[in-house]
């Protein structure tokens, strides 16, 4: 029977996220549990998709980079139970650092394509206030004693400075200009109501302050100018080029996506917002982890039978401006190309590590709906310890005619 198995199409049905907060005692999620943020997303997806019986969910994959405390206890399963899903619905945890949610999506999507699942929930959470990056980590001393990696590879800011060294054409001025544009584009997207539909309001309570309903992202700094950014200090290197203004901050937040087999989505009347075409992960030298999206994208394009010219929209995670710019330079894309991060990116909105992959997907799916002239888009990100991940998606709203890539995917 296995010889007759058909690979099934996988579709992105819906995705939501909490507003992203600033990590720390003053952030909106100080005193809030990470697993409760995931629960908010799961419940909202079920509310938004009433045609989906909760019992039809075949698995719940939730990523976290630091899997202890309120991000531990096999968080996919514990969040499923806390969200009130039937006890028959299993769950598991994933860690691929920044690409946690992306890997939760690709792992469960593979199960759908294979026929093991019909419907899944996949996402990620990072409460960097509760769990600072690297907290409790114990890197093997062989990493340094045997020089398996450069010591700089264990600090993401240093890897970004290394990228500037490798690509001297990417100056601090370019990085700052890109960062200011990210803030501007996010502010414009908020003004157009393009961000809000994906947000799940989260009520929080702090001692002496009572309850607050958080319905917008906390990190953005609208109105930021290149002049503002030029004066910021460079914490990773004296006279360096990486600052708090041209890098993503330390953030808290959660995301969850609903994926299904195309035939199951049709059966249940679920919307189809994107179709998965291909995906790839790739490794690079850990000390320049920011270049990871380049080989990952090349692998994904080759698998799909596409070229970079076929991609009409790019959602690139902005861990650092230099990392995005190195990707654009490699593929010959202008810094201000309108296909890239139309709503701004992590420099403005924040990057709660393991959750960010689904934020990219949410934004790409909305842009697909707005722009039916685009057939293919990608979500891509760099990953700590020297990796990159890329997913190519197809726009179900595409209105173009038959082209040479009709059967490529």
Q: Is 41 a catalytic residue?
A: no
Task: Using DSSP bridges, classify how beta strands 10-17 and 274-283 pair: parallel, antiparallel or unpaired.
Answer: antiparallel
Paired residues of 187 in beta bridges: none
Nearest by Cα to 276 from 365, 385, 393? 393
> With contact defined as beta carbons under 8 Å apart, do 241 and 159 qualify?
no
Phi, psi dihedral angles at 279 (to 5 degrees): -150, 160
Contact between 281 and 389 (Cβ < 8 Å): yes
Which one of the listed residues 41, 131, 164, 382 is annotated catalytic? 382
CB 190, CB 216: distance < 8 Å: yes
For 205-318, where are the alpha helices, taking DSSP H only? 226-230, 262-268, 293-304
- Number of C-alpha atoms within 13 angstroms, CB side, residue 168? 0
Q: Is 98 a catalytic residue?
A: yes
The one catalytic residue among 41, 131, 351, 397: 351
Beta bridge partners of 213: 203
Q: What's the CA gap between 258 and 120, in Å, rounded?
A: 6
Of 180, 351, 155, 162, nearest to 241 by C-alpha is: 162
Start-end of H helices in 55-134: 75-82, 100-114
Which alpha helices (H) appear in 68-225, and where do they start and end?
Answer: 75-82, 100-114, 142-145, 156-166, 172-191
Of 41, 98, 127, 131, which residue is the catalytic one?
98
Distance, CA of 213 to CA of 271 (rounded, Å): 29
Contact present, 354 and 97 (Cβ < 8 Å)? yes
d(CA 319, CA 345): 9
327 within 8 A of 335, measured Cβ to Cβ: no
* Enzyme catalytic residues: 98, 351, 382
């Amino acid at each position: 029977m296995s010889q007759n198995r058909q690979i099934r199409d996988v579709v992105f049905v819906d995705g939501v996220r909490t507003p992203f907060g600033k990590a720390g005692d003053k952030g909106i999620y100080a005193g809030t549990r990470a697993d409760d943020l995931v629960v908010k997303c799961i419940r909202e997806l079920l509310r938004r998709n009433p045609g989906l019986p909760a019992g039809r969910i075949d698995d719940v994959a939730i990523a976290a980079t630091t899997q202890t405390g309120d991000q531990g206890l096999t968080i996919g399963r514990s969040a499923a139970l806390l969200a009130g899903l039937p006890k028959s619905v299993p769950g598991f945890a994933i860690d691929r650092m920044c690409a946690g949610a992306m890997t939760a999506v690709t792992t469960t999507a593979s199960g759908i394509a294979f026929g093991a699942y019909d419907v899944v929930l996949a996402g990620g959470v990072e409460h960097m206030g509760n769990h600072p990056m690297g907290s409790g980590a114990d890197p093997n001393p062989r990493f340094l004693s045997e020089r398996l990696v450069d010591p700089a590879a264990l600090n993401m800011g240093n890897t970004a400075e290394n990228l500037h060294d490798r690509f001297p054409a990417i100056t601090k001025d370019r990085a700052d200009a890109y960062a200011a544009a990210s803030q501007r584009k996010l502010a414009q997207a908020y003004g157009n109501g393009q961000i809000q539909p994906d947000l799940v309001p989260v009520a929080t309570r702090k001692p002496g302050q009572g309850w607050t309903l958080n319905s917008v992202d906390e990190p953005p700094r609208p109105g930021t100018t290149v002049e503002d950014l030029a004066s910021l200090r460079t914490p990773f290197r004296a006279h360096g080029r990486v600052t708090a203004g041209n890098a993503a901050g330390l953030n808290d937040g959660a995301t969850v996506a609903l994926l299904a087999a195309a035939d199951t989505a049709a059966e249940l009347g679920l919307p189809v917002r994107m179709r998965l075409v291909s995906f790839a992960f790739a490794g690079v030298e850990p000390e320049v982890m920011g270049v990871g999206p380049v080989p990952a994208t090349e692998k994904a394009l080759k698998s799909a039978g596409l070229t970079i010219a076929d991609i009409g929209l790019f959602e690139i995670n902005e861990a650092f401006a230099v990392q995005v710019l190195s990707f654009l330079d490699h593929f010959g894309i202008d810094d201000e190309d309108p296909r890239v991060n139309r709503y701004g990116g992590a420099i403005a909105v924040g990057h709660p590590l393991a959750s960010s992959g689904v934020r990219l997907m949410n934004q790409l799916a909305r842009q697909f709906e707005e722009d039916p002239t685009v057939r293919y888009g990608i979500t891509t990100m760099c990953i700590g310890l020297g990796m990159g991940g890329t997913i190519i998606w197809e726009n179900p709203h595409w209105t173009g005619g038959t082209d040479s890539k009709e059967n490529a995917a």
